[in-house]
Amino acid sequence: MENIHEILKEYELAVPADKKAAFDKAWKENYRTKSEYDNAVSQRDNYKASLDDVNAKLKEFEGVDVKDLQGQITKLQGDLKAKDDEYAAKEADRVFMDSIKEAVKTAGGRNEKAVIAMLDIDALKESKNQSADIKKALEDVKKSDGYLFGANEPINNAVGGTNISGGADPGADDVSAIRAAMGLPEKK
């Protein structure tokens, strides 16, 4: 860009030094350089293109009922909240049933489904202290239907020999007879 003073010198015009500051001020307030003009034109074209784009998008919404859209949005938000609530309830039920199943295993229940069928699930769900109430309910079922639970007493089967003669290996005669039938020597 050429300086305005140099352009004036080319045409043999000069601004006196005492008026140069006032001339520069007046010139800058009223005139723009070519690059400033081109920049302004470019910005104007960008704004116009943006405005045309927005107007085209707005035309797509002509005839659309805004209140209807708001109603649909409200309905969809309600449906989404209902689904969230449903999922939260299912998750709470799953956690609750897992705690009951764990309590049945801990109590020694033989058949989980049969023991759970004996419990009042709805009352236990609404209980304030679920873990204690579940244990109490399982104890009540254990008292009334003990066959659903494993026995806490030692196994009734004998661990040692039951030979009346006292201490000899029961069935030893049977083993000797089998070894003899197979042609094997007697076990020592």
17: number of Cβ within 10 Å: 7
The span from the CA of 159 to the CA of 31, in Å, is 115
CB 134 within 8 Å of CB 99: yes
> What pLDDT is attached to residue 160?
58
Report the share of the chain in percent with pLDDT over 90.
38
> What pLDDT is attached to residue 153?
62
> What pLDDT is attached to residue 92?
92
3-state DSSP: the chain helix, strand, coil percent, rounded to 5? 70, 0, 30
pTM of whole model > 0.75? no
97: number of Cβ within 10 Å: 13
Sign of the torsion formed by the C-alpha atoms of 58, 64, 68 and 69: negative
Q: Where are the domains of the chain?
A: 1-31, 35-62, 70-148
State pLDDT tens for residues 154-174: 565 555 555 555 555 556 677
The span from the CA of 27 to the CA of 119, in Å, is 96
> What pLDDT is attached to residue 156?
54
Q: Any idea what DSSP says for residue 61? A: T
Token pair of 34, please? 């070519």
Angle between helices 130-144 and 66-107 (to 10 degrees): 50
CB 100 within 8 Å of CB 124: yes
> What pLDDT is attached to residue 69?
87
> How many helices (H) and strands (E) would you count in the chain?
8, 0
User: Along the 188 residues of the chain, how does pLDDT read in single tens digits?
Assistant: 467 778 888 888 888 888 888 888 887 877 777 888 899 999 999 999 999 999 998 888 888 788 888 999 999 999 999 999 999 999 999 999 999 999 999 888 888 999 999 999 999 988 889 889 999 999 999 898 888 887 666 565 555 555 555 555 556 677 888 888 888 888 76
